[in-house]
Amino acid sequence: MNVSTATVSAPTTSTASASIPPQPPRPTSQSSMSQFLQKAITPAKQNSVDEELAKMIARDFQPFSIVEDKGFRSYTRALNPMYALPSRKTLSQKIFPGLYDKERALLLERVKKATGVCLTTDCWTSRTTTSYMSVTCHFIERYKMVSCLLDCFEFSDRHTSENLAEQLLKVAKEWDVENKVVCCVSDNAANITKAIKTLKWTHHPCLAHTINLIVRDALKVMKPTVDKVKAIVEFLHRSATATEKLKSTQGQMGMPELKLKQECVTRWNSTFHMLKRILDSKDAVISTLAVINAHVDPLCQEEWEELQEACTVLEPFEQVTVEIGADSYVTASKMLILCKGLQSVTADHQTRITMGKVKKPPFLTQDSRSWPSLKIVRWMKLFRELVQQQQQDPASQVHCQGAKREKRQQNQNRNHKHLLFGDSLRNEQLGKVQGIQ
């Protein structure tokens, strides 16, 4: 009996011991309250975050009042409850001036190391009728082009050549570049042109601005048709019903849903984009205007052909404008070859029309001088001759020592390539030149 009892009770003892959970190890040290509290931000960290906040406002063109927005304050509190957002007054009177002085000192050292600089300047009036003037500096640093805004200030004086020259010289002296200006680029206005020549600086007109004047003048030939397009675009933008109908019609025709673009009077490209976009949506626009019985003058077939021909002529000018509008590489060396290319393209197009290889557009009258291509060719030829004369002017050779050294280096490199590749390289270069001409 005793053995049987012991045998039966053994599993009971085993089950009881297995039901006891294992005890967790005791901590070696006691937790302190400081482990659960947020550490205070140091003054150095506070200043660093303040600077980053100022840079964000400057880069993204945010208003100073963003630091008072409830959503922004809640967001920064979620990131770090211990960070204290600065006020608008602190931003505008302390943080930004300090950051400006710091960045200006660093930029001044970089500009001083440049052996030569190119300046670009322009004046404009804001929507509040306040006049401004800006001066931008361009130079080569470590084989890369660097562009920096030297100054942008309110200019309330009369825009005479004397006042403009005075302001330009003042900015140049502040940045210690008055004796290093290789060239100054501006628009074709007589006052700024005279101001730059008064300072004995080499002046080059802005090619983009010149193209804008050329194309604007040529587009006057087809002003009635362009005005019709503007009226149609403005109507479709004003009417929500017409806009929705245009969108649904584009979908039914299997066309992409494209919004018509409006013109900007200061940018000829916008006129080109407006004409090109309405051509891309031609069938949908015609159908929409007919269905809603719009109170605008529709375009006839001849006017649609006129738009198509105009876009064909203006396409190369759009490409050149985009090419010379780049700000990450030097574009002055492309100016002559681009002008020559535009001359060749427009002259070739005019020849094909007069020879009957292309359908004669309705706005090409008996007086061939009214054709935009001829106007553009004459303008571009005149502009190219002026540029060539300016390059041959002895006064423009004062700042060309660096260019001459670069030319000698290029000749050495070219001779080296000819030793390696022989006449094949020369034939290739001649082919490129003949293709351009």
Q: What is the separation of C-alpha 28 from the centre of its chain, rounded to a whole number of angstroms?
A: 63
Distances from the Cα of 171 to the Cα of 132, 136, 289, angstroms: 14, 10, 55
CA distance linking residue 321 with residue 288, whole number of Å? 33
- pLDDT for the residue 333: 81
Q: What integer pLDDT is reported at residue 208 of this predicted model?
A: 86
Task: Give the model's pLDDT for residue 383.
Answer: 57
Tokens 């060719």 sit at which residue? 377
DSSP string, 342-395: HHHHHHHHHHHHHTTSSPPPTT--SSGGGSHHHHHHHHHHHHHHHHHHHHH-GG
- The pLDDT value given to residue 436: 38
pLDDT for 198 equals: 93
Q: Answer yes or no: are the C-beta atoms of 111 and 176 closer than 8 Å.
A: yes
CA-to-CA distance for 255 and 263, rounded, in angstroms? 23
Of the candidates 179, 213, 184, which has an alpha carbon nearest to the alpha carbon of residue 122? Answer: 184
Query: So what's the pLDDT on residue 221?
Result: 84
Kindly list the averaged pLDDT for each block of 10 residues, start to end, along the chain of length 437. Answer: 45 51 62 62 91 94 94 93 92 93 93 93 89 94 90 92 95 94 91 94 88 84 90 91 90 90 84 92 91 87 89 89 81 84 81 62 47 56 56 43 45 40 38 39
- Quote the pLDDT of residue 370: 47
Q: Are 12 and 57 in contact (CB under 8 A)?
A: no
Distances (CA, A) of 410 to 155, 333, 406: 43, 14, 6
CA 300 to chain centre: 37
With residue 134 as reference, give the H or E element that holds it.
strand 131-141
Tell me the C-alpha distance between 298 and 288, whole Å. Answer: 11
Q: How many other C-beta atoms can be found within 10 angstroms of the C-beta atom of residue 227? A: 11
The CA-based diameter of the chain, rounded to the nearest angstrom, is: 136
Query: Minimal CA–CA distance to 228: which of 126, 296, 321?
Result: 296
DSSP letter (8 states) at residue 91: I
For residue 293, the model assigns a pLDDT of 83
pLDDT of residue 3: 44
Contact 278, 285 (CB under 8 A): yes
Strands 117-125 and 131-141 turn out to be: antiparallel
Task: Count the alpha carbons within 13 Å of 64 in the hemisphere toward its beta carbon.
Answer: 11
Q: In whole angstroms, what is the distance from residue 239 CA to residue 262 CA?
A: 14
